[in-house]
A and B are shown apart, each in its own frame.
Chain A
Amino acid sequence: MERHWIAILALGALPFVLVVVHGLLARLLRLVGVDLGPQPTAIVIVLLLNVALAIALVAGGGTSFWDAGYVLVTANAMWFVYFQVFVNLSLTSLHARLVLQALWRGSVDMQSLAEEYDSRMLLATRLSRLQKLRQIAIAAGVITLDWPYLLWLSYPIYWWRNLIGMEGESLQLIDPQDRTTRP
């Protein structure tokens, strides 16, 4: 029974443990000249986590299917919390970027940020990022979908948005050929 209480506490503390593991792994890799970047490091960590859990569950012996399922579901949900709260929020959130800029520079100048977020620049940056992630391919000035797994992953999000009757923020992506404007 004591083992079970320890397991519950360990699962509850897992997001914080993963932050420590992430920091150690990233610093160790840098020592040997490898810099994966925060998000790929987090992906490596979820793979390592599941391998470690599988070994522990098999080596533990006598673990029922449901107990193993419980541990795997909870541990992976906790990994997702670590990934979104600690990795994504501190890295890609525009809210986080604004408060960090104010912390580092003393204040935020909305005018200079507005220049950085100029619509043409914004679109060019995103296209470049999507190309690097192999979501799109650009050849001879034509953009096509490449291996758009982010698009596939977004289907449930768009489906849920419709289900709850939300329209999302209007970004007004324009196709001059048919003059359609989409939210």
Chain B
Amino acid sequence: MNGAAALVIAAALFSYALVLHVVTWRLRAPPKYLYWFLKYWLLLPLAVVCAILAVEGLRGELSASQLLAWLGGFLTYLALCASFILIYPAISMSSLSLEILHHLRRHGPQREDALSLADQSGMAMLEVRRDNLMHSGMFRADGDRLVLTAKGRLVASMIDGVRWALAIPRGSGG
């Protein structure tokens, strides 16, 4: 395999993806960011790569080695994009653990009773996530309770299945 060519393709595509992300977010962060990533990080580069390969193929200039380099490069690009998208929630939403560590770094040692969290913080965290799940059609309200929709049940069952595969006991974590 031409590892160098595959790495150059992956690096070029990933650089494009990051620059586009920074420029777009600085102008206005998209409210449905997952759709944005799907459209501009997956579908658009995929269309461009397919077009390049089609043109090269029609001109008879596409060798098996080149095809392999493009596929290999695109696979690495997808893995890098997936890694970034999985980190993105940590970028856009604060982690309390990290906030505590940054607070200690900024202000030095603290007495245990000197640290406190605004009263509404815990509920605010829950409400943001509940709203996300309601808007994405996973939950429906039933009085004061939230009940899974068919889509939510499917997603929950998949997560439950993954936990079983990883031998994580029911009820642990979270």
B25 adjacent to chain A (CB < 8 Å)? yes
Closest A residue by C-beta to B21: A164
B residues adjacent to A (C-beta < 8 A): 1-4, 6-7, 10, 21-22, 25-26, 29, 64-65, 68, 71-72, 75-76, 79-80, 82-83, 86-87, 90-105, 107, 109-126, 128-130, 132-133, 138-139, 142, 144-148, 152-153, 155-157, 159-160, 162-163, 165-168, 170-174
CB–CB A107/B142 < 8 A = yes
- With most chain A CB atoms within 10 A of its CB, the pick from B7, B64, B68, B117 is B117
A123 adjacent to chain B (CB < 8 Å)? yes
Q: Mark A135-174, 1 if CB is under 8 A from B, else 0.
A: 1101001111100101100100110110111101111111
- Could you tell me the distance between the alpha carbons of A91 and B174 in the complex, rounded to whole angstroms? 6
Q: Which residues in B have their C-beta under 8 angstroms from that of A49?
A: none
CB–CB A103/B157 < 8 A = yes
CB–CB A98/B86 < 8 A = no
CB–CB B92/A154 < 8 A = no
Interface residues of B, dominant DSSP: helix
CB–CB A157/B91 < 8 A = yes
CB–CB A84/B109 < 8 A = no
Task: Select which of B4, B101, B126 is within 8 A of A113 by beta carbon.
Answer: B126
- Interface range on chain A: under 10, 10 to 19, 20 to 34, or 35 or more? 35 or more
Task: List 26 A–B pairs whose Cβ atoms lie within 8 Å, in order of A's numbering.
Answer: A1-B64, A4-B72, A8-B71, A66-B2, A66-B3, A86-B162, A89-B159, A95-B133, A97-B173, A98-B146, A99-B139, A100-B163, A103-B148, A103-B156, A107-B146, A121-B122, A123-B117, A127-B115, A151-B98, A157-B87, A161-B92, A165-B26, A168-B91, A175-B107, A175-B110, A183-B94
CB–CB A119/B119 < 8 A = yes
Given A38-B166, A119-B122, A164-B25: A176 and B116 interface contact (C-beta under 8 Å): yes
Given A90-B173, A150-B98: A30 and B109 interface contact (C-beta under 8 Å): no
Q: Which residues in B have their C-beta under 8 angstroms from that of A174?
A: 115-118
Interface residues of A, dominant DSSP: helix
- Could you tell me the distance between the alpha carbons of A84 and B82 in the complex, rounded to whole angstroms? 10
CB–CB A90/B159 < 8 A = yes
CB–CB B166/A86 < 8 A = yes
Closest A residue by C-beta to B81: A77
- Could you tell me the distance between the alpha carbons of A113 and B145 in the complex, rounded to whole angstroms? 11
A114 adjacent to chain B (CB < 8 Å)? yes
- Could you tell me the distance between the alpha carbons of A180 and B159 in the complex, rounded to whole angstroms? 40
Q: Which residues in A have their C-beta under 8 angstroms from that of B1?
A: 4, 7-8, 67, 70
A46 adjacent to chain B (CB < 8 Å)? no
A78 adjacent to chain B (CB < 8 Å)? yes
Q: Which residues in B have their C-beta under 8 angstroms from that of A176?
A: 114, 116
Given A12-B75, A78-B79, A177-B114: A118 and B99 interface contact (C-beta under 8 Å): no
CB–CB B86/A81 < 8 A = yes
Q: Which residues in B have their C-beta under 8 angstroms from that of A111?
A: 144
CB–CB B126/A117 < 8 A = yes
Task: Select which of B83, B90, B122, B162 is within 8 A of A80 by beta carbon.
Answer: B83
- With most chain B CB atoms within 10 A of its CB, the pick from A87, A94, A118, A145 is A94
Task: Select which of A8, A73, A109, A119 is within 8 A of B117 by beta carbon.
Answer: A119
Task: Select which of B26, B110, B124 is within 8 A of A143 by beta carbon.
Answer: B110
Q: Which residues in A have their C-beta under 8 angstroms from that of B101?
A: 130, 135-136, 145, 148, 150-151, 154
